[in-house]
Amino acid sequence: MSIQIHPIKAFNDNYIWTLINKNNKQAIVIDPGQAEPVAEYMQEHSLELTSIWTTHHHHDHIGGVMELQEYFPMTHIVAHSEHGVEEDQTIKDGGSVSAWGCSAQIWDVSGHTATHVAYVLDIDGQKHCFCGDTLFSAGCGRVFTGTIEQLYDSFKRLNGLPADTLLYPAHEYTANNLRFGLSIEPDNVAMQQALAQAEEKTAAGIPTLPVTLAHEREVNVFLRVNEPSVIAGVEAKNMSVDSDKPLTVFAALRELKDNF
């Protein structure tokens, strides 16, 4: 299957991930917070938008859906019933959606919001996870309508994917997240190298995404809550944690990041 995955930039730092079938010139977009950049990209590349997938209800992820339906009346909307759009296919954990014969599993990855989902797409044996605002490179989403317990469980679930899984977060937050990570683990060489690369790419306008899960396990403190260096770094910030309860470390990290 010849599927290309391309980020369309929106707002200041959003990515609208776009699946393109080069054989039939059809496209699927995920979380179109703005319609205009999507419509322009479709026109420029002579593509037909056939489907929209949403991960959660925040405006910067669904704000362009209705307008895109006006541009492309045959577009099929895939969403959870609580995502605030008029979906054609209602999804929930354990379900699936098809992209030209390739299957994407629907995962509940709540925490950032109470009904956040991820799409785990399998293309020729390679997994591609569109994780919205749950997991960012070197970071995680803030807790809004979900809970910190849900977010922690979602991270454990995502961490169970194969190491070579490609992760597609919806924002370019990588450099700032790495700076926070280094405030916790200042001696983490992988983080130091990743930050230098992220700053270089960001300055050049090049996305730092997607990233592999293997990479995230080295540089994302929210996936490293069992590491003594992370526990020590959190405790050095005068945060009380129980090293036998990783959730307490995860929650302390999120609180520290909220105020970073």
Indicate whether 230 pLDDT > 90: yes
∠ CA 206-120-258 to the nearest 5 degrees? 60
Q: Looking at the chain, how many residues does it have?
A: 260
Residue 2: predicted pLDDT: 84
Residue 16: predicted pLDDT: 98
**What is the percent of the chain with per-residue pLDDT over 70, rounded to a whole number?**
100
Q: For residue 235, which phi and psi values (nearest 5 degrees)?
A: -65, -30
Per-residue pLDDT averaged across 132-145, rounded?
Answer: 98
Amino acid in position 5: I
The pLDDT-based confidence of 192 (bands split at 50, 70, 90) is very high
Residue 245: predicted pLDDT: 96
Q: What is the pTM of this model?
A: 0.97
What tens digit of pLDDT does each residue of 144-172 get? 999 999 999 999 999 999 999 999 999 99
Integer Cα distance of 114 and 14 in angstroms: 21
Residue 116: predicted pLDDT: 98
Q: Where are the domains positioned within the chain?
A: 1-90
What tens digit of pLDDT does each residue of 165-181 get? 999 999 999 999 999 99
Indicate whether 51 pLDDT > 70: yes
Per-residue pLDDT averaged across 85-106, rounded?
Answer: 97
Residue 131: predicted pLDDT: 98
CB 149 within 8 A of CB 190: no
Q: Is the peptide bond before 210 cis (omega within 30 degrees of 0)?
A: yes
Class of domain 1-90: alpha beta
CB 65 within 8 A of CB 28: no
What tens digit of pLDDT does each residue of 101-131 get? 999 999 999 999 999 999 999 999 999 999 9
